[in-house]
């Protein structure tokens, strides 16, 4: 049982570091409230499940091909920069103060899914850390609790996403419009900076 909780804690630890997904989730929560932030996190977790399946089924080599990695870096650059610019523009016009109808639930979910799916840092994690966890579990436990341990990691990720959604909606509810706009601008700039880093890595691989 202690081992199971350690996998849940691992999931929380992996989701907690500040990155484009957390920045995007805070931005969605500020603009649309708890449900939009939670759906964004749920979309990101869905992408995590996709990569877990790819690693489990042995598609690691495909993700390590240079042209595939280059495409992911550059497409991730496009998604992050686009999302960051959108965040800056909406902060300037204060579109998030006009109610929650301006955001679609499906768009929040899809944004989280694409941002995580096209995040090469996520790919490196699932290939490296999760691949090692799978190998170690197979060796030590004959592969029987793989599903349980994988579910425990995902539970940890979902717990962190839920916490972030509450935090983001709390900020939206209690901060002034000027502060909300400032946070949205900071979130947008951070997404653009992450995107530029992704673009730099993609160009470096390309040339």
Query: What is the 3 state secondary structure string of 114-179?
Result: HHHHCCHHHHHHHHHHHHHHHHHHHHHHCCCCHHHHHHHHHHHHHHHHHHHHHHHHHHHHHCCHHH
Whole-number Cα distances in Å, 101 to 19, 31, 104: 27, 10, 7
Task: Give the number of C-alpha atoms closer than 13 A to the C-alpha of residue 200, restricted to the C-beta side.
Answer: 6
Predicted confidence at residue 103, as pLDDT, reads: 67
Helix axes 146-174, 34-56, angle to 10 degrees: 160
Predicted confidence at residue 191, as pLDDT, reads: 81
pTM of the model: 0.71
Predicted confidence at residue 101, as pLDDT, reads: 46
Cβ 45 vs Cβ 161: under 8 Å: yes
- With a CB cutoff of 8 Å and minimum separation 6, the contacts of 22 are 15, 16, 164
> Per-10-residue mean pLDDT for the chain, 207 residues long?
72 72 82 88 90 77 75 82 81 51 79 85 69 60 66 88 86 71 79 87 86
**Number of domains within the chain:** 1
Predicted confidence at residue 136, as pLDDT, reads: 61
What range does the domain containing 41 cover? 2-10+18-206
**What are 139's two structure tokens?**
């060796």
Closest by CA position to 87, among listed 23, 43, 162, 40? 23
- With a CB cutoff of 8 Å and minimum separation 6, the contacts of 164 are 22, 25, 26, 29, 37, 41
């Amino acid at each position: 049982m202690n081992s199971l909780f350690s996998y849940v804690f691992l999931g929380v630890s992996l989701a907690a570091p500040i990155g484009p997904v957390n920045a995007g989730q805070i931005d969605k929560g500020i603009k649309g409230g708890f449900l939009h932030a939670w759906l964004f996190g749920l979309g990101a977790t869905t992408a995590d499940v996709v990569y877990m399946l790819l690693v489990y089924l042995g598609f690691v080599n495909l993700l390590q091909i240079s042209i595939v990695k280059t495409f992911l870096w550059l497409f991730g650059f496009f998604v992050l920069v686009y999302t960051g610019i959108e965040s800056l523009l909406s902060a300037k016009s204060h579109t998030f103060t006009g109610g929650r109808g301006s955001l679609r639930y499906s768009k929040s979910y899809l944004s989280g899914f694409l941002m995580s799916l096209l995040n090469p840092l996520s790919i490196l994690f699932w290939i490296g850390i999760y691949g090692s966890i799978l190998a170690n579990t197979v060796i030590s436990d004959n592969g029987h609790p793989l599903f349980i341990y994988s579910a425990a990691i995902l539970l940890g990720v979902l717990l962190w996403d839920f916490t972030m959604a509450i935090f983001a909606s709390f900020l939206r509810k209690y901060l002034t419009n000027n502060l909300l706009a400032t946070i949205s601008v900071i979130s947008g700039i951070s997404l653009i900076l992450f995107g530029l880093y992704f673009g730099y890595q993609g160009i470096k691989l390309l040339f």
